[in-house]
């Protein structure tokens, strides 16, 4: 994870800009703030997708990896994994990340056109 003092910009902007405080507790998309302080699993999933986006925005993350990020150490059947991940992605999109998180055949990703800025507390 990145420290709150770090400032970092990932990818040139061609889509929405997503501002993330250093911890992932607050996300701002197109001026709208999304509070994830009480949604630990969603925060962990989103931060993992952001980290993978920074490494290679063309690569999607399989549902099992998304599940492991949000519910580390939990065991679940493939059907339960798919259902929980689907619900988490639906919830993140409903909270304001509809144009940010995409589904591909191989899994989930941050849209490559999205610019991510990670830094300190959001104003």
**Per-residue pLDDT at 15:** 80
- Of all residues in the chain, the percent with pLDDT exceeding 90 is 74
**Per-residue pLDDT at 16:** 84
Would you say residue 1 lies in a domain? Answer: no
How does pLDDT run across 5-55, given as a tens digit for each residue? 455 555 454 788 899 988 899 999 988 999 999 999 999 999 999 999 999
Would you say residue 2 lies in a domain? Answer: no
pLDDT band (50, 70, 90) for residue 121: low
**Per-residue pLDDT at 30:** 86
Would you say residue 15 lies in a domain? Answer: yes
- Check which CATH number belongs to the domain holding 23 and give it: 1.10.10.10
Domain range for 103 is 8-119
Counting other chains too, the contacts that 41-49 makes at CB distance below 8 Å and 24 or more residues apart are 41/70, 41/71, 41/88, 42/70, 42/88, 42/91, 42/92, 42/95, 44/69, 44/70, 44/72, 45/69, 45/70, 45/88, 45/92, 46/92, 46/97, 47/1, 47/20, 49/101, 49/108, 49/109, 49/110
Q: How many domains does the chain have?
A: 1
The pTM (predicted TM-score) of the whole model is: 0.84
Would you say residue 80 lies in a domain? Answer: yes
């Amino acid at each position: 994870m990145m420290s709150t003092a770090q400032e970092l910009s990932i990818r040139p902007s061609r889509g929405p800009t997503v501002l993330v405080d250093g911890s992932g507790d607050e996300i701002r998309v197109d001026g709208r703030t999304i509070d994830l302080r009480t949604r630990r699993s969603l925060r962990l999933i989103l931060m993992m997708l952001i980290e993978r986006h920074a490494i290679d925005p063309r690569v999607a993350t399989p549902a099992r990896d998304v599940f492991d990020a949000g519910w580390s150490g939990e065991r679940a059947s493939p059907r339960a994994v798919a259902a929980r991940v689907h619900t988490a992605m639906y919830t993140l999109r409903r909270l304001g990340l509809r144009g940010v998180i995409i589904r591909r055949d191989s899994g989930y990703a941050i849209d490559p056109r999205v610019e991510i800025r990670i830094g300190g507390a959001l104003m």
